[in-house]
Structure 1
């Protein structure tokens, strides 16, 4: 049965979805970094961008979170690599960082892996779930400030993304959780600060009141 957004929540969910899309214009970079998650579309996007000549190598980074251990029992980065290979990315263009358990570690451990392989990275394409773009950007600018960072995701409309995941509540909960983290992580020094427009803050509050609290800190 197709998963669709409830009409009474659509505008608020769309507001959060649009906020997290950084709308960066893609351009070639030294390396792609695919951030681990439950979404195999990250690896799909990374393979497509590699084939389009956007970068000569990609790092997949991620161990497991409680939300991914069943889906990716060998670890997020390992499964991402396997999927990229199936899509024709060459093995010698892929590096795997299998220990990161959060976005901060995704950034710092991927950076350390590149340094250990003597790979100079002055520019990076961060590839993530669509609603992780802003948090990934803010984290990277805090922890790797000298790098030129571009965010990318599969270019899916919200409804298509929900259907691809197959769980509308999960998508909304993750959107709400990532929106909260924009503020909380900046307060804790994990990321740079990002302005949250009032319409986004109000949409977030309504979704929390509607019960989407599963991914709140």
Structure 2
């Protein structure tokens, strides 16, 4: 049972993880692979609204996607885009990335090799990964403008889609921990975290929402 305070803290962190950017036309839309096909759907929706002339899906497989997406996350995303009517020549696949840093670096290399100039990127992820993806892209591709996007939904709607409220809150907490740890490891730029969000994070950690935390580096 999730307490009222824990749910309020989770909603605060859920909102913070989203960048609240207004989508606008960009050079390319990049869909970050995951278990969630709605990322592909949202990327296609943005493409069909004229927000990008080209889509790149990026992602291999992970322990959580291997059974559901045996051909790889990016490949399944592309198949979904083709089902939704995107011409095949407008969808590229980067099938090797296994983390967000590789997503960005490998897509950058792919587009440079294809001779596609990129001034701006529409970066599509799960809602609670917007800020982490943005911070990673700003570190690894600093010369492009990054606009973040995800499927518009509430925390309640996302929990209902996953079916496991504790797991979702664990993921929110884990993503926030990485925002604090990874800049020091050179993986992303530093983005400040407001004190109320840090306090919510600490309360949730104290309540045991910790399964998605990573070990902090030794000092």
TM-score, length-normalised on structure 2? 0.94
Q: 1:153 Cα shift? A: 0.3
Please give the secondary structure, in 1, of the residue aligned with 2:11.
helix
Partner of 2:122: 125
**Residue among 135, 138, 141 paired with 1:141:** 138
Partner of 2:217: none
**Residue among 14, 19, 40 paired with 1:17:** 14
Across the aligned residues of Structure 1 and Structure 2, the Cα RMSD in angstroms comes to 1.3
> Aligned partners of 1:172 and 1:100: how far apart in 2?
25
The question of 1:165 aligning with 2:124 is answered no
- Unaligned stretches of 5+ in structure 2? 215-219
The 5 Å alignment of 1:1-217 reads 7-217=4-214
Paired residues of 1:5 and 1:159 also in contact (CA < 8 A):
no
Paired residues of 1:39 and 1:165 also in contact (CA < 8 A):
no
Could you say if the C-alpha distance between residues 81 and 6 of structure 1 is closer, same or farther in structure 2, counting changes exceeding 3 Å? Answer: farther
Could you say if the C-alpha distance between residues 5 and 91 of structure 1 is closer, same or farther in structure 2, counting changes exceeding 3 Å? Answer: farther
Q: 1:70 Cα shift? A: 2.1
Please give the secondary structure, in 1, of the residue aligned with 2:4.
coil
Please give the secondary structure, in 1, of the residue aligned with 2:148.
strand
Paired residues of 1:17 and 1:158 also in contact (CA < 8 A):
yes
> Aligned partners of 1:189 and 1:167: how far apart in 2?
32
Paired residues of 1:13 and 1:172 also in contact (CA < 8 A):
yes
Could you say if the C-alpha distance between residues 170 and 143 of structure 1 is closer, same or farther in structure 2, counting changes exceeding 3 Å? Answer: same
Q: Which runs of 4+ in 1 moved over 6 A?
A: none
Residue deviations 1:65-99, cap 9 Å, x none?
Answer: 22222221211111111111122222111000000
Please give the secondary structure, in 1, of the residue aligned with 2:176.
helix
Q: Count the aligned residue pairs.
A: 214
Q: 1:7 Cα shift? A: 3.1
> Aligned partners of 2:31 and 2:42: how far apart in 1?
9
Higher mean C-alpha deviation, range 139-148 or range 33-42: 33-42
> Aligned partners of 2:198 and 2:97: how far apart in 1?
30
TM-score, length-normalised on structure 1? 0.95
